[in-house]
Structure formats: structure tokens, C-alpha cells
Structure 1
Amino acid sequence: MIQKIETKEGCLSGFWLKIIAIVTMLIDHLGYTVFPQQVWMRYVGRIAFPIFCYLITEGFVHTKNVKKYSLRLLMFALISEIPYDLAFHRKVFYWEQQNVFFTLLLGLLCLIIIKENIQLVVKVLGVVSLIFAAGAFGTDYGGAGVLLIIIFYLFKDNSIKRIIAFFVVNSIILIRLFQFSYLWETNLIFEFFIQDYAILSLLPIELYNGERGFRMKWSFYLFYPIHLLLIYGIILLI
């Protein structure tokens, strides 16, 4: 089934944005866990997260039931946590870092607050609290990831402002990585340099035509924990 949401200039539907994000995420995760010497896989992987952030804003704008949308993200955040910890930390529970669904959920909650008809000071306090919560609980990409979702939403109708804001947020991520005192002694220095390649995600985002394309409502949600379990299985075999 193909459903049209809003026509824009571009050649990529939401379906293809999801495919690009899923494929590049898989390449990134395999590069991080199974093929760490294949540097190009981490470069390619930088494309995934910003696209997912952008898709969260599109989902928020067009969803008929934001409560169900939020609960779906929460459900799969909980489902994915053990597979995430196994794949990346070789532990059933690793409390210092949480999977990306938590980041996406907190970003969505920020958008809900922004849209609510409440006092500006309450909005600011709510959004800032959620951004700091992402950092405090160690969600993937932390507060900067939540902020990226916010700027995609605020500048959804202005490509120039969106691109400028993206560079600002990406710089925040770089600064955050650089603040680690043991940066030069670990692979975090590698993470620092590859983060620049996140700008490549702007190309498919700018080519988005506003059409939903083929529906894959549950496919990504299921793919995320399943591919992490498969990666963990591969790790056990090698």
C-alpha cells in the first residue's frame, strides 16, 4: 500500500529513507562489533542516526495517535535493551548506556511538550529536563541526539536553517567526545573523527519528497532487536 502524505521536491519516499537508515545502521554495527578494522563501515554508519531523528519528526507530524506512537517506542526500547547490551557490551545488563530507542522516545516527548499549549517557561524546563535526562541515563547519542530531533522539527520547513542547526548539533557531539579524558587512549578518538561523516545524512534527508511510500510500520522496530541478537550470535561464533 502506498500512501501520500505531502508532496515536496525530491526523489526519496519515507520508505526509502527508512531503508537507507536501516542498512547504514547495520553496516555501522557490524563494523563496530565484528569488523572493527573496516573503517569505511563506521563512516557509512554515521548516516543512520540523523535520518532516524528526522523520521521521528515526520512521524510526530503525521501520526494520528501520538500516545500510541510514544508507547510503541517505549515498548521496543525495553525489548531492545538486553540485545543492545549483549551486542555492544557482552552483558545482559549494562546500566551505563541505553539503546537508541530511548533517545528517540525522549526526543518525541520533547516535541509533544513543544506543541502543547502551555507557558513558554514550562516548555523550556520540560525540554531541557529531557535533554539532560538523556545524558544522565546514557542513551545513545545522549542529549545531543534529543536536540537533533528538536531542531529537525523546529526547522522542518527551512532547509538552510536545518542544515546550519545540524552542523551546530554535530559540533556539540564532537565536543562531547573530546571531553573524555581518556580519549587518546581508547577508540573514542576514532569516534571523534568519524562523527564528521554524519553530514552525509543530509543528502537523503534533503531528497525526501514527503511521501510515505510502502508501509513498514513494525519492520524497523522488529529489525532493531533482532539484528542485535544476530550480531551477538556472530560474536559468539568467531
Structure 2
Amino acid sequence: MFKKGLTGFQIKLIALFLMIFDHVHYFFSFTNKIPLWFTWTGRVVAPIFIFMTVEGFIHTRSRVKYMGRLYMGSLIMVLGNQWISRWFPRGDDAALMTNIFATLFLITVYLTIIEYLKKGIKERRIMSVVLGILGLVLPVAIGILMMMNLHVPGMIHAIFLLPTPMFVEGGPVFIALGILFYLTRDKKRLQLILYALVSIALMPWQNFSLQGIFYDNFQWMMIGALPFLALYNGQRGKGMKYLFYVFYPLHIYVLYVLSTFFA
């Protein structure tokens, strides 16, 4: 049955299009020929994919397979980043670090733990509640230990292989955003209000000036995703399950390799 608004597929296509602008600026900003508004438009991309990942987690037939695809995507990016950087080194030694899959995977891990915790509370199983709370704290604790032992041989590989809030793209803010989308999934108005408040809270209040909000710290511009979230009609839309899994690394590596000819 057709519903007004945008399907998940349509919203993803919009995000993919805007992501190209964002990454063109990311990889070619050193040329001073890419306008800053390219990356302004890109601020809406990560929140949209976080939102759609939560939707996917809720509606997927197999959460294990869903989480497995995200983790495999993360591993492929880790290996791809290393190999592409080695084969096509940039003259300015810029590192290839992009990997949103790790963030999305970690969000699904937290959502799984939250569901386990909620079930334990509902059934009044103290041990389940304790394990659930420990599960929420564990990724943070592991991340802190990693930060304290960066000098240990092989630790950098562990950081990439075991996603933690401190080391994934977007950090704790993006993880919290995924949890927010999940907890408010049945309360659309509250969801949009809280999302707007989070976006506003990210404004550089200590340096509140045109320079500060438009050039120094413009992550608050993710509020631009608000209309797309509001227009989501709850329908999946067309298939193409693996479009994002293929397009994301492919366009990043194409842009990165092209940038090596200018650096």
C-alpha cells in the first residue's frame, strides 16, 4: 500500500548523493578549490544512515546476519584502507580512515544489549539486568583501556578490529544518536524534537560567531536531516540490499585514488 512521504530506499539514495559531495570535499579540500558547502550538505548523511540502520535492525528477519554484514563491511574497510593507502600513497601523507560501518555495527551491538536489558527488567531477572548494564559499560571500558595502551604493539590493529565508542567514526555522539532513534521509534514527534535538540547542542556555544558556527564547528548542520526523517513513511521501498555496502567503499576509494594525483 502506497503511503505519502519517502521510503527508506528513497532516503538512502538522497543520503548517497549528498555523501559524494561530502567526500569530494574531504579528499580534495587541500586543493582549496572545493567549496565548503560541499561538506555542509554532507552533515545530514551519517544521521540518515544511522536512522535507517536502526530501522533495519528493528525490521530485519535475522539480526545476526544483519549485524554480521555490518561487521564484515567494517573489516573490508579496515583492510581496504590499509591496502589502498599502501598502493596509492598521497604526497601529503593523509591517512585513509573513513569507516562508518564500524559505527553502525557498534550501534546494533548497543541496541541488542538494550533489548536484553529491557527483557531482564521486565522479567525481573537480576542477573540479566546486571549483565545488561555491564554490556553497556564494557565497550567504553575496552575503549579506555585501548587509549591507555596505544603504545602496545598490535594495539592499533585491535582498535580497528574491535569497534568501541571512542574510536569509531562520529564517536559517542553517533552511538547515542542511534540509541535515541531506537528508544523513540514509536514516538515520532518526540524523536524529531530530541534530534533537533541534539543538533543544536552541538553548536560551538563557547565560540558562537559566524566563524565558529559555519567554519570551525558545523556538525550542528546535521539538523538538516530533520525533514527527511520527518518524511519517512515507514516503508522499505525498493530492494537493492547491498547498494550501500558496495557504493560506500567504492566511491571512497575512487575519490581517494584520484586525490593522490593532485596531492
**TM superposition score normalised by structure 2:** 0.72
The code of the aligned residue for 1:150 comes to I
Q: 1:110 to 1:135 in 2, by over 3 A?
A: closer
How large is the Cα RMSD of the aligned pairs? 3.1
Please point out which of 146, 152, 166 is paired with 2:195: 166
Q: 1:153 to 1:121 in 2, by over 3 A?
A: same
> Larger C-alpha radius of gyration, 1 or 2?
2
The code of the aligned residue for 1:231 comes to L
- Decide which moves more: 109-118 or 124-133: 124-133
- Rounded to whole Å, the distance in 1 between the matches of 2:65 and 2:43 is 29
Mapped pair 1:43 → 2:40: yes
Q: Which runs of 5+ in 2 are unaligned?
A: 121-127, 144-163, 207-211
Q: What is the SS of the residue equivalent to 1:214? A: coil
User: Is the Cα–Cα contact under 8 Å of residues 6 and 231 in structure 2 kept in the other structure?
Assistant: yes
**TM superposition score normalised by structure 1:** 0.79
Q: Identity of paired residues, percent?
A: 31
Please point out which of 48, 56, 59 is paired with 1:59: 56
Q: What is the SS of the residue equivalent to 1:24? A: helix
State the match for 1:145 in structure 2.
174
Q: How many residues matched?
A: 219
State the match for 1:23 in structure 2.
17
Mapped pair 1:124 → 2:133: yes
State the match for 1:103 in structure 2.
103
- How far the C-alpha of 1:174 sits from its partner, in A, is 5.3
Mapped pair 1:112 → 2:106: no
- How far the C-alpha of 1:10 sits from its partner, in A, is 4.1
- How far the C-alpha of 1:113 sits from its partner, in A, is 1.2
User: Is the Cα–Cα contact under 8 Å of residues 82 and 92 in structure 1 kept in the other structure?
Assistant: no
- How far the C-alpha of 1:115 sits from its partner, in A, is 1.5
Q: What is the SS of the residue equivalent to 2:237? A: strand
- How far the C-alpha of 1:121 sits from its partner, in A, is 4.1
Q: Which runs of 5+ in 1 are unaligned?
A: 179-186
Higher RCO (CA < 8 A, seq sep 6+): 1
- How far the C-alpha of 1:81 sits from its partner, in A, is 2.4
User: Is the Cα–Cα contact under 8 Å of residues 201 and 220 in structure 2 kept in the other structure?
Assistant: no
User: Is the Cα–Cα contact under 8 Å of residues 70 and 104 in structure 2 kept in the other structure?
Assistant: yes
User: Is the Cα–Cα contact under 8 Å of residues 107 and 146 in structure 1 kept in the other structure?
Assistant: yes
Q: String of CA shifts for 1:164-218, please: whole Å, max 9, x gaps.
A: 332454366557xx8xxxxxxxx999351x2121001011111011111110111
- Rounded to whole Å, the distance in 2 between the matches of 1:81 and 1:102 is 9
State the match for 1:230 in structure 2.
254
User: Is the Cα–Cα contact under 8 Å of residues 202 and 220 in structure 2 kept in the other structure?
Assistant: no
- How far the C-alpha of 1:82 sits from its partner, in A, is 4.4
Q: 1:130 to 1:188 in 2, by over 3 A?
A: farther
State the match for 2:150 in structure 1.
none
Q: 1:165 to 1:210 in 2, by over 3 A?
A: same
State the match for 2:27 in structure 1.
33
- Rounded to whole Å, the distance in 1 between the matches of 2:36 and 2:81 is 21
